[in-house]
Amino acid sequence: MSNSRGHISEIHVLRAIACLLVLFVHVSATFYYQQGQQFNDLTYFINQISRFGTPIFALISGFLLFYQARFKGFNLSRFVSSRFTKIGIPFLFWSIFYLLFMYVAEGVNPLDVGEKQFLVNFSFGNSFYHLYFMSIVFQFYLVFPLLQLVRSKKSWAILLGIAIGVNVYFLEIFSLGEMEGIWGDILGQRAFLPNWIYFFIFGGFLAYYWEPLSSFAKRSKVLLGVSVILITLVAVWEYTVMGSIASNRVTNMINIPIITLFIIGVGSNITRLKWTNLFMTKIGTLSMAIYLSHPFVLYCFQEIAPPSIWKTIHFPAIYLIILLGTILTVKIIQLLPWNQYILTVPKIKTLQHSK
Q: Is residue 350 part of a domain?
A: no
pLDDT in tens, 275-320: 898 999 999 999 999 999 999 999 999 999 999 999 999 999 999 9
Within-domain flag for 173: yes
Is pLDDT of 352 > 70?
A: no
The answer to whether residue 17 scores a pLDDT higher than 80 is: yes
Ramachandran bin of 25, using left for φ above 0, alpha for ψ from -120 to 50, beta for the remaining angles: alpha
Mean pLDDT of the chain: 92
167's CB contacts (< 8 A; 6+ apart) are 194, 195, 196, 197, 198, 248, 250, 253
Would the pLDDT of 349 be above 60? no
Q: Residue 285: inside a domain, yes or no?
A: yes
Q: What is the pLDDT of residues 181-232, one digit of tens each?
A: 788 888 889 999 999 999 999 999 999 999 999 999 999 999 999 999 999 9
> Per-residue DSSP letters for 129-198?
TTTHHHHHHHHHHHHHHHHTT--SHHHHHHHHHHHHHHHHIIIII---TT--HHHHHHHT-TT-GGGTHH
Count of structural domains, the chain: 1
Q: What is the C-alpha separation between 239 and 228, in angstroms, rounded?
A: 17
pLDDT per residue over 21-61, tens digit each?
A: 999 999 999 999 999 999 999 999 999 999 999 999 999 99
- Which has more pLDDT, 137 or 12? 137
Alpha carbon 117 to chain centroid, angstroms: 25
Quick check: is 348 in a domain?
A: no
Distances (CA, A) of 174 to 18, 103, 165, 183: 29, 35, 12, 14
User: Does some domain include residue 81?
Assistant: yes
Bridge partners of residue 2, in order along the sequence:
8
Instruction: Quote the domain boundaries for residue 122.
Output: 10-341
351 has pLDDT over 70: no
Residues 234 and 239: their CA atoms lie apart, in Å, by 9
Asked if the structure places residue 5 within a domain, the reply is no
Write down the pLDDT at residue 206.
97
In a domain, 321, yes or no: yes
Quick check: 5 pLDDT over 80? Answer: no
* pLDDT bracket for residue 1 (50, 70, 90): very low
pLDDT at 91 over 90: yes
Asked if 132 and 126 count as a contact pair (C-beta separation under 8 A), the reply is yes
Query: Per-residue pLDDT averaged across 340-344, rounded?
Result: 91
Residue 355 maps to a domain: no
